[in-house]
Amino acid sequence: MLRIAVIGTGRIGRMHAENIAAHPRAALAGVYDIHTPSAAETAEKLGVTRFDSAEALIASKDVDAILIASSTATHADLIEAAVAAGKPALCEKPIDLSLARVNACAAKIKGTSVPIMLGFVRRMDKGHAGVQAAIASGQIGDLHQVIITSRDPDMAPDAYMEVSGGIFRDMTIHDFDMARFMLGEDVTEVSATGSRLVKPGLMEKLGDYDTVTVVLKTASGKQAIINNSRRAVYGYDQRVEAFGSKGMAISENHAMTKVRLFNAEQTEAAPPLLNFFIERYDDAFAAEIGAFVDAVENGTTPPITFEDGRQALILAEAAIRSVAEGRTILTKDIG
């Protein structure tokens, strides 16, 4: 049993805590949150220890590994602390909003044998992973284009948007990782287009965008196209399409149920899509815990690494610069 403690007991942290508790080879070793009532509630509900500080949690001899689900600004510090304590960590994305901070963290933990895994949960989705497997197995031949459609059901509250780091670092970051997962080779060029269509006033004020398209290209010419919107009224739209020389594989959306309605106006109408990521990726979040436990127990590299987190942020930086400058950005010029 791998005893994993959770830092951060917001909505995502609580879900992780429950998944750890339910995993047959993991045990929930306690929780901590800067907001004590939240931690206390989770600790009581799940019948585990509430630690008084992240430091105490990391240091505890009853804790084998750490799951970091606290606010983004704390991630890099906690990763460094976990590595220092020799304890494997599974960290929610992104590592940090600042590439400089990520690079500093990378330098600090360089060469460590302590497993650090990044929480790009979508790689654990059976549908998306199935598309990647179709690529890897050669079923669709040489990969030519990847199309990632990724739209949130609704924009987060304004207060969140103000500290989100902008759409590319906050939302597209998942899609950058998905593109890298599918492409299987380094992205060399990034072209991005941003629009303000959902909440133009707020976006203008923040210098942010709510509707973006990013085109990535690898050295061999493979293309990945990401389209994002902060608001899709029909639910959380999460599709991945991989097109190659011998075919195509698509990971389709998940509707709320498998019911189809027919009447005088329409046929085959399905309900809205699952809303939101905790529902849509529930299996994937559970599988993520399993993958982390496997890596730690087997001493293998986690399937999603710190470097994956850093590379996704490089693509975000390139996209931001591409929109600002109206030109294609070479990733070698970033970071």
Query: Residues interacting with a copy of itself, by CB under 8 A?
Result: 22, 126-127, 130-131, 134, 139-142, 144-145, 147, 149, 151, 189, 191, 193, 195-198, 211, 213, 215, 217, 221-223, 225, 227, 229, 231-235, 243, 245-273, 326-328
The edge-to-edge listing of strands for the beta sheet with 89-91 is 26-32, 2-7, 65-68, 89-91, 116-118
Phi first, then psi: give them for residue 208, nearest 5 degrees: -115, 175
Residue 37 contacts by C-beta under 8 Å, 6 or more apart in sequence? none
Q: In the complex, what is the shortest distance from the CB of residue 24 to a copy of itself, in angstroms, rounded to a whole number?
A: 8
Q: In the complex, what is the shortest distance from the CB of residue 184 to a copy of itself, in angstroms, rounded to a whole number?
A: 14
Between CA 100 and CA 319 the distance in angstroms is 16
**Whose Cβ is closer to a copy of itself: residue 113's or residue 266's?**
266
**What angle do the packed helices 126-136 and 172-183 form, to 10 degrees?**
30
**Whose Cβ is closer to a copy of itself: residue 94's or residue 235's?**
235
E strand or H helix at 177: helix 172-183
Q: In the complex, what is the shortest distance from the CB of residue 191 to a copy of itself, in angstroms, rounded to a whole number?
A: 5
Q: In the complex, what is the shortest distance from the CB of residue 1 to a copy of itself, in angstroms, rounded to a whole number?
A: 12
Q: In the complex, what is the shortest distance from the CB of residue 29 to a copy of itself, in angstroms, rounded to a whole number?
A: 17
Q: In the complex, what is the shortest distance from the CB of residue 119 to a copy of itself, in angstroms, rounded to a whole number?
A: 21
Q: In the complex, what is the shortest distance from the CB of residue 302 to a copy of itself, in angstroms, rounded to a whole number?
A: 23
Q: In the complex, what is the shortest distance from the CB of residue 206 to a copy of itself, in angstroms, rounded to a whole number?
A: 15
Instruction: Indicate the residue type of 166.
Output: G
- What is the bridge-based pairing of β-strands 223-229 and 211-218? antiparallel
Closest CA to 192 of 172, 207, 174, 177: 172
**Whose Cβ is closer to a copy of itself: residue 113's or residue 263's?**
263
Q: How far is CA 168 from the centre of its chain?
A: 12
User: DSSP string covering 184-226, please?
Assistant: -S-EEEEEEEEE--SSHHHHHHHT--SEEEEEEEETT--EEEE
The single residue listed with the structure tokens 């990044």 is 118
The 10 Å Cβ neighbour count of residue 177 is 24
**Whose Cβ is closer to a copy of itself: residue 87's or residue 222's?**
222
Angle of CA points 97, 241, 220, to nearest 5°: 75
Q: In the complex, what is the shortest distance from the CB of residue 318 to a copy of itself, in angstroms, rounded to a whole number?
A: 13
Phi first, then psi: give them for residue 269, nearest 5 degrees: -70, 125
Q: How many residues does the chain have?
A: 335
Omega before 272 cis (within 30°)?
no
